[in-house]
Amino acid sequence: MIIVGHCKDKPFPEPSRNLQIAVIICARNEESVVGNLIDSLKAQDYPADSFEVFLIAHNCTDKTAEVGTQHGAVVWEAIQTDHPCKGTALTFAIDKIKQEYPDRFDAYCIFDADNIVDSGYLTEINAGLQSGEAQAVLGFRDSVNPYDNWVANMCAAHWLVVSRAYNMPRRRLGLSCFVEGTGFAFLKECVEPEGWTAHSITEDFEFTSKTILKGKRITHTLRAKFYDEQPTEFKAWLAQLYRWMFGAKMNSHFAGKALANLFPHPVQKMDLFWNATAPLASGLATLATTAVFIYALIARIPLIPGTDWTFNLIIGAVAIVGSYLAMFLMTFLSVVYCGKPIRKYMKGMLTYPFFILAASLLIIVSLFNKEYKYIPLLHKGRPQK
């Protein structure tokens, strides 16, 4: 997959027109960063009369709404006490846009408050949405603070892996890419007539799954670049990763739906099945493998019949080192393919295998919890590097 992902980013054909795009920002207490995002959107080279920026100040207790108004966004405040999350904020936004601006917009574009957007982002998204390749387009997620410390460097490397080893190969192979939280756009037909219905804590994967089950496709482009602020605190990163894994557990039921609705587009549905089951399968495999090796170590029982105990320890060590090197190589190639400085991403490359291991363990932890308690991730509003 990483070899396929090395292929050059294929440009979209010249679009026939400028789509009307509603850019939606869902923000909860983001007064320190949301102004930067709105300013970068206002600086797009896309015609100003072809898009509008909507800020949903969702259960805010600070000046997020005021800052949004000052920077020129259409601001709507939403106070929701029944399952308040990004998904319900998007439902509120899309329903209100359809009510206030009937028949104006052809597509929706979603951002998080801490993002910053390159000036050509909407132009490239417009081309992608009219390319005939897919009904939704995911931009290239880069980082504003990749060099702050090892946590930020590891997280920044993660998004390079997601782009080059995960989504770019899927585009080249004709599969659907998977939305990763922010920086994506979709034609209104993707959420019609029912509106936005993805309300889980990982609404991105839920939206992706429902889009694929509708027989639609999501593509990816490196040319629509935006920037994201990475966590710098270990506890904050761990809390974020746990939310992703808890959401993966919640949305694993889409594996069954993919198999039950395998035709048409069986390859797309099988890829969805794999992605819906992979986190849990990886976690269980890690737990089982570790348990077997620990038992063999304590009982001095050979894992391979007819061999001695020392040989089994060597095999186990080789397996651990080999797995680490494979993940390191995947990260290294992603950094190289994205044109990033190897030396500055060395911490991220060395620690990324730990990222994967932590994810495998956290999804096991999630199995013992029925409810998820939301922990906000505080953003500092760093300038683009």
Position 148 scores a pLDDT of 95
In the chain, the amino acid numbered 337 is Y
Q: Are 370 and 190 in contact (CB under 8 A)?
A: no
Q: Which regions in the chain score pLDDT beneath 50?
A: 384-385
Indicate the burial class of 368 (C-beta count within 10 angstroms; 0-12, 13-18, 19 or more): exposed
Position 385 scores a pLDDT of 43
Q: Are 164 and 356 in contact (CB under 8 A)?
A: no
Q: How many other C-beta atoms lie within 10 A of the C-beta of residue 300?
A: 11
Q: How far apart are CA 315 and CA 274, in angstroms?
A: 28
Q: How far apart are CA 51 and CA 185, in angstroms?
A: 12
In a domain, 384, yes or no: no
In a domain, 377, yes or no: no
**Can you give the C-alpha Rg of the chain in angstroms?**
22
Q: How many other C-beta atoms lie within 10 A of the C-beta of residue 80?
A: 13
What is the residue range of 289's domain? 1-369
Q: How far apart are CA 184 and CA 221, in angstroms?
A: 10
Could you tell me how far CA 110 lies from the centroid of its own chain? 12
Position 377 scores a pLDDT of 67
In a domain, 331, yes or no: yes
Position 189 scores a pLDDT of 96
Q: Could you tell me the pTM of the whole model?
A: 0.93
In a domain, 149, yes or no: yes
In a domain, 175, yes or no: yes
In a domain, 208, yes or no: yes
Could you tell me the CA-to-CA distances from 97 to 27, 52, 107, 195 in Å, in that order? 17, 10, 11, 11
- Residue 358: both structure tokens together: 């932590």
As for how many domains the chain has, the answer is 1
Sign of CA dihedral 141, 36, 182, 360: positive
In the chain, the amino acid numbered 51 is F
In a domain, 383, yes or no: no
Which CATH number fits the domain that encloses residue 166? 3.90.550.10
Residues contacting residue 84 through CB under 8 Å, at least 6 positions apart: 58, 59
Q: How far apart are CA 105 and CA 103, in angstroms?
A: 6
In a domain, 318, yes or no: yes
